[in-house]
């Protein structure tokens, strides 16, 4: 999968993709992540990329021409399955969206800043808008990093143990059951007997039960969506 990201703060996106699983995915050739500096497409000597709002109001708006020129150039090089805009005023990212996007070949992600982008960019180029939660970040870069991480780890072959991604929280609309490792007892706190029993059907039942109980207690809304 190829992922292009357009940003006014490309430096913010260097570190998140240079660690562990996401780094290895790129080294294995399963994901290619390329960040484009919007400033390079800025207008005039000052490389202007933002301007005040029509109609007045605080905050700058990212201008249409630099973004349009950048998107057009990238679209000349390849077809994108989705052109995504990261913004708080959109549907919230969930595991289902991450699963769907992990099957795509080319994705282009636009990150906003300040008051956001000129609405005409959204109308003309954007095929999908994604928020990572009901709070406002200073820019879309961290949101894009979250999206890319959630998607890339699902690409077949990225996580060695295939089972591991499939048994994540949310894959079946349930939170994960608790997990334990050695020692079997720590300061009087014991690992549940069933996990030491070697009885795998029973362990599966226990895990399902725990996942359901946890979801009911912490995120009952997930059960309503079934
Ligand atoms: N940009 C600023 N806040 C955001 C959010 N919550 N989700 C996606 N992009 C954003």
Query: What global pTM score does this model have?
Result: 0.94
Q: Ligand 1, atom 7: nearest CA belongs to which residue? A: 131
Asked if the 167-223 domain carries CATH number 1.10.1270.20, the reply is: yes
pLDDT for 226: 55
pLDDT at 57 over 90: yes
Residue with the two structure tokens 């009952």: 220
- Tell me how far apart the alpha carbons of residues 65 and 48 are, in angstroms, rounded to a whole number: 10
- Kindly report the average pLDDT of the chain as a whole number: 95
Distance 224 CA to ligand 1 centre (A): 26
Half-sphere exposure of 63 (CA within 13 A, CB side): 15
Q: Which of 112, 122, 141 to mutate to test the pocket of ligand 1 (most atoms within 8 A of CB)?
A: 112
Give the torsion sign (CA, 24, 27, 30, 36).
positive
pLDDT digits (tens, 9 = 90+) for 132-171: 999 999 999 999 999 999 999 999 999 976 567 767 778 7
What is the dotted CATH code of the domain comprising 2-152? 3.40.1280.10
Question: Where along the chain do the CATH 3.40.1280.10 domains lie?
Answer: 2-152
| Range(s) of the chain covered by CATH 1.10.1270.20 | 167-223
Residue whose CA lies nearest to ligand 1 atom number 6: 88
* Mean per-residue pLDDT, 45-61: 96
What average pLDDT does the segment 25-37 reach? 97
């Amino acid at each position: 999968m190829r992922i292009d990201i357009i940003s006014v703060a490309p430096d913010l996106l260097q570190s998140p993709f240079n660690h562990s699983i996401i780094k290895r995915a790129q080294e294995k050739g399963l994901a290619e992540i390329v960040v484009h500096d919007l400033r390079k497409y800025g207008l005039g000597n000052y490389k202007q990329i933002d301007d005040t709002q029509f109609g007045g109001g605080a905050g700058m708006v990212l201008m249409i021409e630099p973004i349009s020129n950048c998107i057009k150039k990238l679209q000349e090089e390849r077809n994108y399955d989705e052109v995504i805009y990261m913004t708080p005023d959109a549907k919230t990212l969930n595991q289902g969206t991450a699963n769907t996007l992990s099957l795509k070949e080319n994705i282009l992600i636009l990150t906003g800043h300040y008051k956001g982008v000129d609405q005409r960019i959204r109308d003309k180029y954007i095929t999908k808008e994604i928020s990572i939660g009901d709070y406002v970040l200073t820019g879309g870069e961290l949101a894009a990093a979250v999206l890319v991480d959630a998607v890339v780890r699902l690409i077949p072959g990225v996580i060695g143990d295939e089972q591991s991604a499939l048994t994540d929280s949310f894959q079946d609309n349930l939170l994960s059951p608790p997990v334990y490792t050695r020692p079997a007892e720590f300061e009087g706190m014991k690992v549940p007997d069933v996990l030491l029993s070697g009885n795998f059907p029973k362990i599966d039942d226990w895990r399902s039960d725990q996942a359901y109980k946890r979801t009911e207690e912490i995120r009952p809304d997930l059960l309503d969506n079934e």
